[in-house]
Amino acid sequence: MVISIPVYAVLYLFTAINVLFAIILSYLNQKRAVLAVIRFWAKNVFLITGSRLKIYGIENFDKKKKYILLANHASLFDIMAIMALCPGVSWFGRERLMKIPIFSHFLKCIDYIPMQKANFRNTKEMIDKLVRNSQGLTIAMFPEGTRTKDGKINNFYKGFIHVLKASDAEILPVTLNGFYDLKPKNRFYIKFNTRINLVVHKAIDKSVLMEKNDSEIISTVKEVIESAYS
């Protein structure tokens, strides 16, 4: 715990420098350079914690294709792991972040998609809008909705199914291992030198999933992700 405090300080400083650099590049409309900065930041964050991210199944990720990337969720470091794999991934996130001066320009540059609070009336309209805004982009989602508190993969919500039905993208299941040990939601300190890895599974074609009902789709995707979970 004592060592974690200065490490957090280094992580925040390292992140702040990279975000600032990326914001400057975004104002210069240098998107490719912005993505390079993001990949550099995402990969080197783990070195600061004394861990090394290993990626397995990289041959299953076609950079020319666009996916709905679904992964289990255990730590804030999960986001860095996915961005190390695909820095150009599009995230759904809070709409209020788009109101932050300067930072909002950076978010637009990385194809951030703001989400309104869903309710019974606007859910379909919101999903349709999100899919339109993300055309041509890989979308990353955590179907559990929140980070696990016990290390076990939680039940999946069916929000991703709405996105699947409204788009032509394949599902790309991804398993994240070791991130709960590294830094779970309910623990302050970082466990250094944790073995972490990311497993990219074979994409699941939409036509295969559309033959199933919602419960079966969730079970199919969850089983694939759990198959490599340790």
- Domain range list for the chain: 4-227
**Tokens matching residue 101:** 């001066």
Provide the pLDDT for residue 139: 87
Q: Which residues contact 100 (CB under 8 A, 6 or more apart)?
A: none
pTM of the model: 0.87
CATH of 4-227, one of 2.30.29, 3.40.1130, 1.10.490, 1.10.357: 3.40.1130
Q: What is the pLDDT along the chain (230 residues), one digit of tens a residue?
A: 899 999 999 999 998 899 899 889 988 888 889 889 999 999 899 999 999 999 999 999 998 898 999 999 999 899 899 999 998 888 776 677 677 766 676 677 767 777 666 554 556 666 666 666 666 678 888 999 889 999 999 999 988 898 888 888 899 999 999 999 999 999 999 999 999 999 999 999 999 999 999 999 999 999 999 999 99
d(CA 71, CA 61): 14
Q: Exposed, middle or buried, 49 (CB in 10 Å: 0-12/13-18/19+)?
A: buried
